[in-house]
Amino acid sequence: MTQPISTPDPQPVSTTVTRSAIFIVATVNEDAASRATVRAWCADVANLARAVGKRVPSGNLSCVVGFSSDAWDRLFGDPRPAELHPFREFGSGERVAAATPGDLLLHIRADQTDLCFELATQLMNRLEGAVTTVDEVHGFRNFDMRAMIGFVDGTENPTGNDAEHFTVIGADEDPGFAGGSYVLVQKYLHDMKGWNALTVEAQERIIGRTKLQDIELDADVKPSCSHSSLTTLTDANGDEVKIVRDNMPFGRPGSGEFGTYFIGYARSPAPIEQMLENMFVGKPPGNYDRLLDFSRAVTGSLFFVPSQPLLEALAEREPSLAGAVDASIDSQPSFEPAAALSADGSLAIGSLKGAPRHE
């Protein structure tokens, strides 16, 4: 009897929901010494997380590390993850899912802010002089899992084995990168004055769920432009395609800043990109997510999350001359033809390989 091929242990992409998080996006400096520092650092991440976590064993401390397409080429070269590419922009005018700089993602989670802070400090100390932080957000869990806009967030997240199924690359999909995941991050800023000026009923129609009870609106009431409608996907067999979200509210009330840090994990970037196209372009085009009238995406990056064993092994890997990208040349995104929904409106997961920016 043939034994199933085992999948390497993934990083903690679908770990326990926590009260606090720190998101750090950084660029890797162009010199060879900086690249060598980042590669060596890959072997330290798990050890540092364990060391800090032992101070509060019940604190559920974890860290996920991801690399962008350009960073992978410069740091590690070939082979590369099959679906790793630069962040793809969607939309036009004031409603754009824009790409912003970012080579390295740190997603640090714990039930205590001090644990997140200490681990972030230790990790960034090891990277001093090798990277430049371009974005840092400290998130908090808002009351009963509610987003900044007052609705429960992450209701449809898969759990347990389902979470692993939707987020972790199988051994038969991309063998050299089994156990890995893709993660897409965006920082949204909200017009809270405008949002709070709406009636609860108007807010519910925009989201597609009731605000207090967190119940999905009936199909004959829920608008096709609601956030829920546009971010619900099905595959060619009619089965729902899910991602794992671990969004966090953040803000600075004294500065009038109120936001949501979106972070979505999946075993392919295709479903998350399809959601963004539905939201920012519309399904059909023009029938866009009305939440974007009150929420503006100000960052956008896509990263590959290697399995835990691969992350540690990357410390010893250097790009070959044939596989490396010259760091002195600015790499430009190359877009493949847009993926289309099938005739029944479903998403052909597995065949969706590209989606350019749609105007």
> Is residue 355 pLDDT above 70, yes or no?
no
At 275 the pLDDT is 97
Separation of alpha carbons 190 and 330, rounded Å: 32
Q: How far apart are CA 346 and CA 238, in angstroms?
A: 7
Q: What is the mean pLDDT of residues 162-173?
A: 94
Q: Please, which pLDDT band fits residue 320 given cuts at 50, 70 and 90? A: low
The answer to the question of residue 104 being in a domain is: yes
pLDDT for the residue numbered 128: 97
CA 40 to the chain's CA centroid: 24
Q: What mean pLDDT comes out for the span 134-159?
A: 92
Residue 6 lies in a domain: no
Q: How many domains does the chain have?
A: 1
Residue 232 reports pLDDT greater than 50: yes
Instruction: Average the pLDDT over 132-154 and give the result.
Output: 94
In a domain, 198, yes or no: yes
What amino acid positions are annotated as catalytic residues?
153
Range scoring the smallest mean pLDDT among 37-41, 123-127, 154-158, 162-166? 154-158
pLDDT at 139: 97
Instruction: Examine the pLDDT at 130 and tell me if it is beyond 80.
Output: yes
Determine, yes or no, domain membership for 44. Answer: yes
Does 145 map to a domain?
yes
The pLDDT score that the predictor gives to residue 288 is 97
Asked if 199 contacts 121 with a C-beta cutoff of 8 angstroms, the reply is no
**Residue 330 belongs to a domain:** no
Secondary structure (DSSP) of 13-31: TT----SEEEEEEEEEPSS
Residue 354 lies in a domain: no
Tell me: pLDDT of 88 over 70.
yes
Name the CA radius of gyration of the chain, rounded.
20
pLDDT at 278 over 60: yes
The DSSP call for residue 175 is: G
pLDDT at 119 > cutoff 60: yes
Euclidean distance between CA atoms 78 and 195, whole angstroms = 47
Q: Answer for the pair 275, 297: CB distance below 8 angstroms, yes or no.
A: no
Averaged over 205-209, what is the pLDDT? 97
Residue 338 has pLDDT above 60, yes or no: no
Burial of residue 182 (CB within 10 Å: 0-12, 13-18, 19+) is buried
| Better-scored residue on pLDDT, 57 or 144 | 57
Q: What integer is the mean pLDDT of 6-11? A: 89
Closest CA to 98 of 87, 107, 109, 108: 87
Range of the domain at 182: 20-316
Quickly count: other Cβ atoms within 10 Å of residue 112's Cβ: 17
Q: Which residue has the higher pLDDT, 40 or 359?
A: 40
What angle separates helix 32-41 from helix 113-126, to the nearest 10 degrees? 140
Contacts of 94 (CB under 8 A, 6+ apart): 296
260 in a structural domain: yes
Lowest-pLDDT range of 174-178, 280-284, 317-321: 317-321
pTM: 0.88
What is the per-residue pLDDT for 4?
52
Q: Are 349 and 242 in contact (CB under 8 A)?
A: no
Q: What is the mean pLDDT of residues 182-201?
A: 98
Summary mean pLDDT of the chain: 89
